[in-house]
Structure 1
Amino acid sequence: MTQRLILAGGGGFARELYFWSAACIEAGTLPPLAGYLDDGGDVLAKLGYEIPWLGSIADFVPTTEDAILLAIGSPAAKRAVHGKLAVRGGAFPRMIHPLTRVVRTAKVAEGVIFCPGSAAGPDTRLDRFVTINTDSGLGHDAGVGEFSTLSSRVDLTGHVQIGPDVTIGSGATFMPKVKVGAGATIGAASVVYRSVPAGATVYAAPAKRLKSR
């Protein structure tokens, strides 16, 4: 196993992972936390966090001992930061918090983050760098495309398919077999009864289309 854990990002989600990764470190599924990266300088020190700033994402060169968690919510920003660090040899572990429920038939790819209380049911699929925030879950046969982010308390029922680079707000619910296209945005507390095209923004209960790219 790699020898040290690094958080890429210094915003709100990084502060959450600062605490949630501790349980994984204690369980032995992640290496010890060494510090974080942020292009804005040592932003966490200003908030009283005692975690070393290891420099900017733009300048950081990973070693073979580094395991990097993308502590970033925005799919576009996650993808951009991954591109910068991967080309320099960065390695990206999965983080599956001990208080999650992930069945053995779930397919969980590189860099996926499961926060406390999240779940993935039978034959689910989570592509690279998906973030599943607190108390969100995937029903049987659901799938989420790479770099997508589920905020807290999102419910994907059976056979729902989420494309890549999708942002889903807190409390959104998806009826069975709904499909969401790449780059779509689903507003908080939306109830999605119908499939959503790529690039669309929907909001409300039932969710209504507001705009497309």
Structure 2
Amino acid sequence: MRPLILAGGGGHCLSVLDTVHRIGYYDEIIILDVAERVGGTVSKYTIWGTEASLPELYGKGCRDIMISVGSTASTAVRRAIAEKIERCGFSFVNLFDPSAVISAEATLGKGIFIGKNAVVNAGAVIGDMAIINSGAIVEHNNFIGEYSHVSVGSVLCGDVEVGPDCLIGANATVLPGVHIGKNSIIGAGSLIYRDVPSGSKIYGGNR
């Protein structure tokens, strides 16, 4: 048996599950979530337990885990879950959809999810726990900081730097060479022409 633990049973978990099925490596899926959702279902899977179950699962020989909580306004929940997981000794796996195009010249951290039809080009660096969601394009020599989320259909042109804990909203475009500071939110559909200071929230663009 090759079990995989998914920490989080919301909408993002459905996307992760679909990629897990398409990869075909794991034959047992264990989903954890908050107490009030235990016993409910995600797709065909019953939510097995909560984070409190982690030591028990480790004792049973489970090792591979992915945080399947998405992020919108904040990455705090994902970070808190990761800290608990690390204390238990699990191994964060990377899950890349088979339809994604990932350059052999890209550098990838741990715990990364790359969704359907996403592109990660040569020279890109993707930090730990990042999400590169369906159809996103991360062009050459990009740097994506840890826990950042590049949402569906976003386009990051060449030499873009995204700090940790950022959200690049759906269908946003970031022009070449732009630096986006940590803890920033770029709203859906925004067009980013110039550097963005840390902690910024930009909706629409910054011409």
Same topology, TM > 0.5: yes
Partner of 1:45: 40
Q: Deviations over 1:136-170 (max 9, x none)?
A: 01111011000101110010100000000001110
**Aligned residue for 1:93?**
93
Q: 1:73 Cα deviation (Å)? A: 1.4
Tell me which moved more, 184-193 or 54-63: 54-63
Q: Distance in 2 between matches of 1:77 and 1:130?
A: 14
2:109 corresponding residue in structure 1: 109
Aligned residues: 201
Deviates more, 1:100-109 or 1:54-63: 54-63
* 1:49-99 superposed Cα distances (whole Å, 9 cap, x missing partner): 321322112442242433111111122211111011111112110001110
Can you give the 5+ residue segments of structure 1 that lack an aligned partner in the other structure? 209-213
Q: Counterpart in 2 of 1:207?
A: 206
Query: Does residue 34 in structure 1 map to residue 33 in structure 2?
Result: no
Q: Give 3-state SS (helix, strand or coil) of 2:92's partner.
A: coil
Offset from partner CA, 1:3-40 (integer Å, 9 cap, x none)? 2111100111012212221111x2x3xx2232200014
Structure 1 partner of 2:65:
68
Aligned counterpart, 1:10: 9
Using the alignment, how far apart are the partners of 2:28 and 2:173 within structure 1?
34
Normalising to structure 1: TM-score of the pair?
A: 0.88
Match of 1:211? none
Aligned equivalents of 1:135, 1:165: Cα separation in 2: 20
Contact 2:168 2:186 in 1 (8 A): yes
Give the aligned partner of residue 49 of structure 2. 55
Runs of 4+ in structure 1 over 6 Å off = none
CA contact (8 A) 2:140 2:158 kept: yes
Offset of 1:43 from its aligned partner?
A: 5.8
> Could you say if the C-alpha distance between residues 207 and 44 of structure 1 is closer, same or farther in structure 2, counting changes exceeding 3 Å?
farther
CA deviation after TM superposition for structure 1 residue 44, in Å: 7.5
Closer, same or farther: CA 116–190 of 1 in aligned 2, 3 Å: same
Alignment of 1:177-192 (within 5 A): 177-192=177-192
Sequence identity, in percent? 27
Please give the secondary structure, in 2, of the residue aligned with 1:35: strand
In structure 2, the gaps of 5 or more residues are: none
Q: Is residue 22 of structure 2 the alignment partner of residue 23 of structure 1?
A: yes
8 Å contact 2:19–2:96 — kept in the other structure?
no
**Is the Cα contact below 8 Å between 1:38 and 1:56 reproduced in 2?**
yes
Tell whether the 8 Å contact from 2:41 to 2:47 is kept in structure 1 after alignment.
no
Tell me if the contact between 1:3 and 1:66 (Cα under 8 Å) persists in the aligned partners: no
